[in-house]
């Protein structure tokens, strides 16, 4: 069920004075240090995921690490205020959500920032607003939802990423135009809202990071080695029923000098580490679901940012599944899913290495079936 209203996510930075920009450019080439991208939402939502995908792509192009820093809450005012107070040197970016940027300044009693405090750089994504409901709610269409809400006034909650967000405004419009009464529940982002929508039977912990490898230390982007961080990550979230590992794309970078076989061996090492982490001493060991991500497309070698991954990355990615599956078949409590075999789960033709919205949906359906035996 869609409403004809879209959200936009825009990259911005603290406004630069012309004189300052000129002197900074003369002194040193930009960038010469780590760039921080501040996100006004909690992890797991559309704005956060867009920022992480952008950071992964920007890092190799800029030649510097781009760090995503989530500062959710305050209707986006917390993140915007941080970037406003930062030095106007281009090293602190704001991944701004349009609902916050347009609406928040007008509903805050003590105004902390204004649109003029920032210089827009690029529109990153445009996404429709979609209404989803719990599976146990007896409605399938928007008219059925409105009818149910009229029969149960004030008993339906609707979530948003904060007061004054586009989801909040959309929900208020639905109430007004449908003649219904619902209860607005603001969150710090779409991710936490989705978690509650799933219900008490689910608890999803997202520990993904753009640029992360299975076992390799990246000489350009530090802190990406999954093997070095998996133990504290798992210990902080134990007990767990299933650990999902979806890596391999970044391990195929030319600078690591590895083939598909060595990349697969690295993933196996990470899987074994997950199965035998000390935190499982007093708890049942989790299953591990290994997902091979969609391979980088052959067209990637002809794109302007092909040097980020290097020559031959497509071939290395494409060979992982065939090498990895037999390595895992004799390891207990490990399941395998090759996303390359899912119709419609390929990478975007725009950059040849990231999944499209549709391919995410395809993978989500396969993931739910793998975890529960059900389909969406």
- pLDDT tens digits for 268-322? 999 999 998 877 765 677 889 999 999 999 988 888 878 888 889 999 999 999 9
Q: What percent of the chain has pLDDT over 90?
A: 32
What pLDDT, on a 0 to 100 scale, did the predictor assign at position 349? 85
What pLDDT, on a 0 to 100 scale, did the predictor assign at position 223? 81
Reduced to 3 states (helix: H, G, I; strand: E, B; else coil), residue 209 is coil
What pLDDT, on a 0 to 100 scale, did the predictor assign at position 189? 63
What pLDDT, on a 0 to 100 scale, did the predictor assign at position 294? 94
What pLDDT, on a 0 to 100 scale, did the predictor assign at position 176? 93
For the chain, which domains are there? 7-128 (3.40.190.150), 130-198 (3.40.190.10), 226-372 (3.40.50.1110)
Comparing 19-33, 164-178, 220-234, 300-314, which segment has the lowest mean pLDDT? 19-33
Q: Name, in order, each residue with C-beta under 8 angstroms of 58's C-beta and a sequence gap of 6 or more.
A: 35, 66
Q: Return the DSSP state at 283.
A: S
Residue 217 to residue 225: CA distance in whole angstroms: 5
What pLDDT, on a 0 to 100 scale, did the predictor assign at position 43? 76
pLDDT, tens only, 330-372: 999 999 999 999 999 988 888 888 888 788 888 888 887 887 7
Cis check: omega of the bond before 31, within 30 degrees of 0 = yes
Residue 186 to residue 196: CA distance in whole angstroms: 12
Nearest to 160 by CA among 50, 55, 47, 266: 47
Which pair of structure tokens corresponds to residue 124?
């990153």
What pLDDT, on a 0 to 100 scale, did the predictor assign at position 180? 94
Q: Name, in order, each residue with C-beta under 8 angstroms of 164's C-beta and a sequence gap of 6 or more.
A: 75, 99, 100, 103, 104, 107
Q: Return the DSSP state at 126.
A: E
pLDDT, tens only, 13-49: 655 433 233 333 444 688 899 999 999 887 777 788 8
Q: Which residues of 33-42 are buried (b: 16+ CB within 10 A; e: fewer)?
A: eebbbbbbbb
Q: Half-sphere exposure of 235 toward its Cβ, with a 13 Å CA cutoff? A: 10
Reduced to 3 states (helix: H, G, I; strand: E, B; else coil), residue 259 is coil
The DSSP H or E segment spanning 232 is helix 226-237
Residue 371 to residue 282: CA distance in whole angstroms: 23
Q: Name, in order, each residue with C-beta under 8 angstroms of 349's C-beta and a sequence gap of 6 or more.
A: 297, 299
Q: Residue 19 CA to chain centroid, in angstroms?
A: 37
Residue 50 to residue 216: CA distance in whole angstroms: 24
Q: What is the dihedral of CA 182, 196, 358, 233, to 10 degrees?
A: 160
Q: Do 257 and 310 form a contact (C-beta atoms < 8 A)?
A: no
Reduced to 3 states (helix: H, G, I; strand: E, B; else coil), residue 186 is strand
What pLDDT, on a 0 to 100 scale, did the predictor assign at position 53? 82
């Amino acid at each position: 069920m869609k409403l004809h209203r879209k959200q936009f996510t825009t990259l911005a930075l603290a406004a630069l004075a012309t004189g300052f920009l000129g002197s900074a450019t003369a002194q040193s080439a930009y960038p010469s240090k780590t760039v921080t991208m501040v996100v006004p939402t909690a992890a797991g939502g559309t704005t956060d995921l867009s920022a992480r995908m952008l950071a992964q792509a920007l890092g190799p192009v800029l030649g510097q690490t781009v760090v995503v820093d989530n500062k959710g809450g305050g209707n986006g005012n917390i993140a915007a205020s941080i970037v406003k107070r930062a030095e106007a040197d281009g090293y602190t970016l704001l991944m701004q959500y349009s609902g916050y940027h347009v609406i928040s300044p007008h509903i805050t009693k003590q105004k902390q920032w204004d649109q003029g405090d920032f210089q827009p750089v690029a529109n990153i994504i445009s996404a429709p607003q979609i209404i989803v409901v719990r599976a146990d709610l007896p409605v399938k269409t928007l008219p059925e939802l409105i009818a149910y809400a009229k029969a149960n006034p004030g008993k339906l909650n609707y979530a948003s990423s904060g007061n004054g967000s586009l989801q909040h405004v959309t929900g208020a419009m639905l109430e007004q135009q449908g003649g219904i009464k619902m209860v607005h529940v603001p969150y710090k982002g779409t991710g936490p809202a989705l978690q509650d929508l799933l219900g008490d039977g689910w608890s999803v912990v997202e520990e993904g990071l753009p640029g992360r490898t299975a076992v390799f230390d990246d000489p350009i982007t530090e802190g990406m080695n999954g093997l070095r961080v998996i133990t504290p990550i798992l210990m902080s979230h134990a007990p767990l029923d299933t650990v999902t590992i979806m890596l391999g794309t970044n391990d195929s970078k030319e600078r690591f000098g590895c083939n598909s076989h060595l990349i697969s061996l690295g993933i196996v090492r990470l899987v074994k580490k997950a199965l035998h982490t000390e935190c499982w001493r007093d708890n049942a060991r989790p299953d591990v679901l290994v997902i091979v991500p969609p391979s980088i497309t052959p067209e990637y070698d002809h794109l302007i940012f092909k040097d980020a991954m290097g020559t031959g990355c497509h071939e290395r990615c494409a060979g992982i599944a065939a090498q990895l599956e037999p390595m895992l078949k004799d390891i207990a409590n490990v399941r395998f899913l090759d996303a390359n075999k899912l119709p419609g789960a390929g990478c975007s033709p725009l950059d040849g290495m990231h999944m499209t919205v549709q391919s995410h949906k395809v993978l989500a359906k396969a993931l739910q079936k793998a975890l529960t035996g059900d389909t969406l």
